[in-house]
Structure 1
Amino acid sequence: MIIFALLSLMVSQLALAADKDAKVAWTKIDAGAMVVDVRTAEEFAAGHLENAINIPFEEIAVEFKKRGIAKDTSVVLYCRSGRRSGIAFDTLVSEGYTKSYNGGGFQTLSQFKKPQ
C-alpha cells in the first residue's frame, strides 16, 4: 500500500512537471477548453483571463459535480503560480476528468497571449 501511494505521488508530480506550458494551455483554450481560475474570489476580481470562471481549488470536485460538467470536457486550470492549479488538476484527474491541464500561473498565461 505504501509503495502504491509513493508511486501515485511520483506519477502525480511527473504530471505536474509536464503541465504548465503556456503555449499548450493557449492551444487548448483557443480550441475551446473551459478556463478555470482556481484562486480566491478576491484574486479573481483583481484580474483574470477572459472567459475564465472562478472555482477555488478546494471546491473544484464539488463544483464540477454540482454544475454537471462532463468528465471528458477539456479544462485548463490556472492560479497565481501553478501550485493550486496543480492540486485542482490532481483532484479532477482522481475524479475522472481526463482532459484537464494545469496551465500554471496567471501572469505567465497573460503575458504569453498576444493581443488580437
Structure 2
Amino acid sequence: MKLLTLWRGLVLCLTLLLPIASWAGEGKDPAVAWQKIQAGAMVVDVRTAEEYAAGHLDGAINIPFEQIAAEFAKRGIAKDAEVVLYCRSGRRSGIAQDSLVAEGYEHTYNGGGFESLAAAKP
C-alpha cells in the first residue's frame, strides 16, 4: 500500500512539474529568434555597454539585464511588443526575460547567446 501511495505521489509531482520544466526551457533557438526578428521583433542586447560596444546584432538596442524592466517602463514599451533578448550565453537574457514577464510583457523570447545568433543569421 505504501508503494502505491508513493507511486501516486510521484505521478502527481511529475504531472505538476513537467509543464513548468518545459516552459522554463523555452527559448535559445537561433532559428526561432531570427524568425521573430525578421517579423519585426525588437532586439535587445542585455549585456554590458562594453560587451555591446565590442559587437552586437544590427538594430539591437542595449539595456543591461539588471535595468530591463525599469527601462522598458521608462521608454513606454508596450506590454504586447514582440521582443527578442540575447546576451553572451542566454543566462542574463533569461533573467531579463523573467523580469519582463513578471511585469506583464507577453511576447518575449530568449534568443540565447550573441555568437550563436550571429552565426545563424539568415
Quote the Cα distance in structure 1 between the aligned partners of 2:92 and 2:68: 11
RMSD of aligned alpha carbons: 1.6
Q: Alignment partner of 2:44: what SS?
A: strand
Give 1:50's match in structure 2, choosing from 49, 55, 58. 58
Tell me which structure has the larger Cα radius of gyration: 2
Give 2:104's match in structure 1, choosing from 78, 90, 96. 96
Q: Alignment partner of 2:69: what SS?
A: helix
Quote the Cα distance in structure 1 between the aligned partners of 2:34 and 2:55: 18
Q: Which amino acid aligns with 2:31?
A: K
Q: Which amino acid aligns with 2:82?
A: S
1:111 lines up with 2:119 in the alignment: yes
Quote the Cα distance in structure 2 between the aligned partners of 1:16 and 1:109: 20
Give 2:38's match in structure 1, choosing from 27, 30, 33. 30
Quote the Cα distance in structure 1 between the aligned partners of 2:59 and 2:30: 16
Q: Which amino acid aligns with 2:102?
A: S
Percent sequence identity over matched residues? 68
TM-score (structure 1 length as normaliser): 0.86
Quote the Cα distance in structure 1 between the aligned partners of 2:121 and 2:24: 21
Tell me by how many angstroms 1:18 deviates: 1.6
Instruction: Show the counterpart of 1:18.
Output: 26
Count of paired positions: 106
Gaps in structure 2 of 5+ consecutive residues: 1-15
Quote the Cα distance in structure 2 between the aligned partners of 1:99 and 1:90: 12
Quote the Cα distance in structure 2 between the aligned partners of 1:40 and 1:101: 19
Quote the Cα distance in structure 1 between the aligned partners of 2:65 and 2:73: 14
Instruction: Show the counterpart of 2:49.
Output: 41
1:63 lines up with 2:71 in the alignment: yes
TM-score (structure 2 length as normaliser): 0.82
